Structure 1
Amino acid sequence: MTVAEPQAPTSAVPHLTLHCPACDNYYELQDLAWRCADCHGVLELSGFTPAFPKPADLARRAPTLWRYAEALPLSEPAAITLGEGMTPLVGAPGRPDVRLKVDYLMPTGSFKDRGAVLLAALAGSLSVGRMIADSSGNAGTAVAAYAARAGIACEVYVPESTSAGKVAQLRAYGAAVHQIPGSREDTADAAAQAADDPDTLYASHVYNPFFFHGTKTYVFELWEQLGGRLPQTLVLPVGNGTLVLGAHLAVRELLAAGLIDHLPRIAAVQAATCAPLATAFQAGESEPAKIAAEPTLAEGIAIARPARGAQILAAVRSTGGRIVTVTDDQVAAAHAALARAGLYVEPTGAACWAALSAGLVGEPEGAPDAEVPFAVAPLCGSGLKSKPPTQSPV
């Protein structure tokens, strides 16, 4: 069978800009700006109008995220891509109304490949000499892998407590690893100080909006896999919100294209010991709560000061969704249950299943649909990257 190539934009970097909604400032991509110079606020992508491929076109395309070329702001980087995307959708143990999307089968073992490949493509098109990232592990390993593919020097800042498996993976890709004592926020601050160096792209999965255009493909794939429909509820982990914001972008684009008739609810899941968004959501606040974070098994979502917190709160509320929390004991039990079902994830990857298992997400509305599940949750990161939780029952 011959597979048709996606229709790519006419140039490697179309005329796109970055926009600060708060100050109405615009920045050229070549400026390598990663936040507003005036207010230090987050930037959004401007000048891009997505389209969606026709079903007949999709049928002829390779099963990667680049099948949605018209909806992506950059051309497929042929020398960089690792075939990322179109991960399996499988049944959940004991829950016929739930499906799990196995995103830990991405090339570097996490869903972060979806956004990292766009950042590397952007870096290559801008001919930068260095990429910098900060991460609790998975985003950094994804950026490092694609930087290696692109032949671009890469430095990754991680917390000192990052699991040895992730640090080893980073070094194997050739990245210079900076292990920072203190909190996840201390790591982000250290990376930010280096991000303004000349000829450097801050490949931030938090600040760079190209990343969200990558993670939105999670929902595009889900829409295809469910026959052009979406579940009532998207259950998503939330720390910095890269998957929540990508999913929200995707559902709005699908709605604008007339491919769905309403927005599914987003149920976002935080760790109980580090829950600035859940705390703010319950209080009706529009900004993340100021909290003192405590350690959690779910290290990948342990973010006390999410830079896009206000956006995350607004996105979840716009869908009629909710933000809930799970304890470490619930995460450990969910981790064990998934493993017994043949699904070996890192502890953070069990947080959504923990929320579903505990009944925190809500009940299905209306009569059950045998073809479309009530809820879908991602399995975000491979269990081979992290130590198993010590609380996990034998």
Structure 2
Amino acid sequence: MIDELPGYVCPLDGTRADVATARWCCPACGGPWDLDFTPDPAVPLEPAAGPWSLWRYAPVLPLAGEIPVSLGEGHTPLVPLTDRIHAKLDFLMPTLSFKDRGAVMLVELARRLGPERVVADSSGNAGTAFAAYCARAGLRCEVFVPEGTSEKKTERMRAHGAAVRIVPGGREAAARAAREAADAPGVFYASHVFNPYFLHGTKTYVYEVWEQLGGRLPEVLVLPVGNGTLLLGAALAVEELSRRGVRAPALIGVQTEAVAPLAAAFAAGADDAEPVAQRPTLAEGIAIPAPPRARQILAAVRKSGGAIVTVPDDRLRAALADLARRGLSVEPTAAACWAAVSQPSPTNPLHSRTAVLPLCGASGPLGNPGPTAA
């Protein structure tokens, strides 16, 4: 079965590697991998005949055969917010965030490869997702988190049996610690940024929107962008569905005004993003100063005819409160998209177009949410 796993390819220099023996990053440039996998558009896609989960899209997923690792993830509701805007409730996932879409793919991949342990780094929701799915798969899991991570988040990880390593410093310090551990023998690094199998899990978000809208997509997909794992997954799905004759939407990435390297690069017409300072913001999950896949994110948005916009914290607060009044208690990463969409302005790239946005992570009490790095 391992022989059937699609291999890795570097998007920058074309380096190829076998998934069973490859290092977690490209050995030539140190960048993240893409996957050498393109679904055949001639293969029928009949999701209604599949299970009530993201595995109903098995013909377009890179893991063939029986899938024993599942918690019923995916197929989340699509509900209207206005007559032209729908929200997809990905906070109704088994671990309360969209990260389950990618986590189930990486953990199933790890199960097939048979490592001694799985290592991940996270500021919250990704770590919880990996801990839960590793528990489901019977795999040892170790999550590196930055100091200051919500105790509720780390408690959930430990409840699933994961070993939690608290790292002094911020999010990047936790990532460095995980990568050092990942170089040890017998370790699988479940990186939601560097491993492309994660992106092929998040792409099911768009396949579900396509199914739920009766075989079409909206004019615009609005997506929170930090590391870009949801947006790049969406771009994969849009490209794959376009080969099946589906009209492609524009991709609108949303960043917090406080930490917006991608928005700055997009506005400047740059191919890559320069690192920016880490500044405090409500939307901690998308406050990524130096996204490793910045080039790919910018290229995908431009190819779609989209844009990358920013929202300030005061609009985030207003959007959180407005969603709560509609019965939807979500975290700021999700509220960032609603803040961008609901801003009344004729120059807004979202003005008067049909759109779908994700409510991608659940919140605790209003004003005390946990981060979901998108």
- What is the TM-score of this pair, normalised by structure 1? 0.89
Q: Return the alpha-carbon distance in structure 2 between the equivalents of residues 149 and 193 of structure 1.
A: 26
* Aligned equivalents of 1:322, 1:48: Cα separation in 2: 26
Aligned residue identity for 1:91:
P
Partner of 2:313: 328
Distance 1:304 1:295, change over 3 A: same
Question: Does the aligned pair in 1 maintain the 2:259–2:287 contact within 8 Å?
Answer: yes
> Whole-Å Cα distance in 2 between the matches of residues 46 and 337 of structure 1?
43
Aligned twin of 1:271: 256
Per-residue CA distance 1:29-68 (angstroms, 9 max, x = gap): 111421111211221111553447646x333222211011
Q: Give the equivalent residue in structure 1 for 2:154.
A: 167
Task: Please state how far the C-alpha of 1:207 moved relative to its aligned partner.
Answer: 0.3
Closer, same or farther in 2 for the Cα pair 1:385/1:106, shift >3 Å?
farther
Map of 2:102 onto structure 1: 115
Q: CA deviation at 1:256?
A: 1.2
Asked whether 1:380 is paired with 2:370, we answer no
Residue 143, structure 1, aligned to residue 130, structure 2? yes
Q: Give 1:18's aligned residue.
A: 8
1:36 — aligned with what? 26
Deviations 1:189-211 (A, max 9, x none): 22111111111111000000000
Distance in 2 between residues matched to 1:347 and 1:147, nearest whole Å = 27
Cα distance, 1:283–1:386 mapped onto 2, change above 3 Å: same
Task: Provide the rounded CA distance (Å) in 1 between the counterparts of 2:5 and 2:84.
Answer: 44
- The amino acid that maps onto 2:269 is G
Structure 2, unaligned runs of 5 or more: 370-374
Please report how far the alpha carbon of residue 310 of structure 1 lies from its aligned counterpart in structure 2 after TM superposition.
0.7
Q: Report the CA distance shift for 1:291/1:45 in structure 2 as closer, same or farther (over 3 A).
A: same
CA contact (8 A) 2:193 2:292 kept: yes
Cα 1:386–1:242 shift into 2, 3 Å = farther
Equivalent of 1:102 in 89, 92, 107: 89
Q: How far does residue 302 in structure 1 lie from its aligned partner after superposition?
A: 1.2
Partner in structure 2 of residue 45 of structure 1: 35
Aligned with 1:96: secondary structure? coil
Percentage of identical aligned residues: 53
Q: What is the rounded CA distance, in whole Å, between the counterparts of 2:355 and 2:191 in structure 1?
A: 29
Q: Distance in 1 between matches of 2:181 and 2:3?
A: 25
CA contact (8 A) 1:156 1:177 kept: yes
1:315 paired to 2:300: yes
Separation in 1, partners of 2:252, 2:209 = 16
Answer yes or no: is 1:231 the counterpart of 2:218.
Answer: yes
Q: Structure 1 residue 304 and structure 2 residue 289: aligned?
A: yes
- Aligned residue identity for 1:221: E
The aligned residue for residue 372 of structure 2 is none
Aligned length: 366
Give the corresponding residue for 2:75: 86
Aligned residue number for residue 215 of structure 1: 202
TM-score (norm 2): 0.93
Matched, 1:283 2:268: yes
| Greater shift in the superposed pair: 339-348 or 183-192 | 183-192
Cα RMSD (Å)? 1.8
Aligned counterpart, 1:343: 328
CA contact (8 A) 2:8 2:16 kept: yes
Moved more, 221-230 or 41-50: 41-50
| CA displacement at 1:350 relative to structure 2 | 0.9
Displacement after TM superposition at 1:78 (Å): 4.0
Match of 1:176 in 2: 163
CA contact (8 A) 1:51 1:70 kept: no
- Displacement of 1:180 after TM fit? 2.2
1:362 equivalenced with 2:350 (yes/no): yes
Residues 5 and 62 of structure 2 are in contact (CA less than 8 Å); yes or no, is this contact kept in structure 1? no
Cα distance between partner residues in 2 of 1:358 and 1:13: 50
Query: Is the contact between residue 50 and residue 57 of structure 2 (CA under 8 Å) also seen in structure 1?
Result: no
SS in 1 for 2:330: coil
**Residue 175 (structure 2) aligned to one of 168, 180, 188:** 188
Structure 1 position 127, deviation (Å): 0.8
Q: Which amino acid aligns with 1:335?
A: L
Distance change >3 Å, CA 69–CA 45, structure 1 → 2: same
Task: Measure the CA separation in 1 of the matches of 2:284 and 2:253.
Answer: 16
Q: Deviations over 1:310-363 (max 9, x none)?
A: 100110111111111111111111111111111111222211011112244422
Q: 3-state SS of the aligned residue for 1:100?
A: strand
